[in-house]
Amino acid sequence: MRRALLLGVAVVMLTSHSGIAVEQTVEELVPPNEQRVEALGGADEQAVRGVDAVAEQQVAPQEPPSPAAKAAQNVGKVATVIGATAISLGATAAMLMFL
C-alpha cells in the first residue's frame, strides 16, 4: 500500500512539472520561393465544366414507407431496446457478483 502511495505521489510530482510555461519566441517565416503558387497543367485542365442533367442525377420525390415497412422498423427498434436492456442488466449482475 505504501509503495502505491509513493508511486502516486511521484507521478503527480513528475506531471505537475510539465505545466510550467517555457519562454517562447516567434520567428518570421518569409522565404520568397516557398510561398509561390504555380498553375499545374494547361488552363483547360483546371476549368470547371457543367454536367448535363440526366435522369440518374435528378432527385425524385420521396415516397412514404408502407404500413408493413413502418411495422418492421418498429419491431426492429423494440428488438434493439430489448437486446440492449438484456446486455446492460447482464453486465450489472456480473459486476455485482464479483464485488
**How would you write the pLDDT of the chain (99 residues) with one tens digit per residue?**
788 888 888 877 777 666 666 677 877 777 666 666 676 766 666 667 776 666 566 777 888 999 999 999 999 999 999 999 999 999 999 999 988
pTM: 0.39
Alpha carbon 35 to its chain's center: 32
Would you call 20 helix, strand, or coil by DSSP? coil
Phi/psi at 20 (5° precision): -75, 135
CA dihedral 68, 70, 75, 77 (to 10 degrees): 160
Give just the sign of the alpha carbon dihedral 84, 88, 94, 98. positive
Alpha carbon 48 to its chain's center: 32
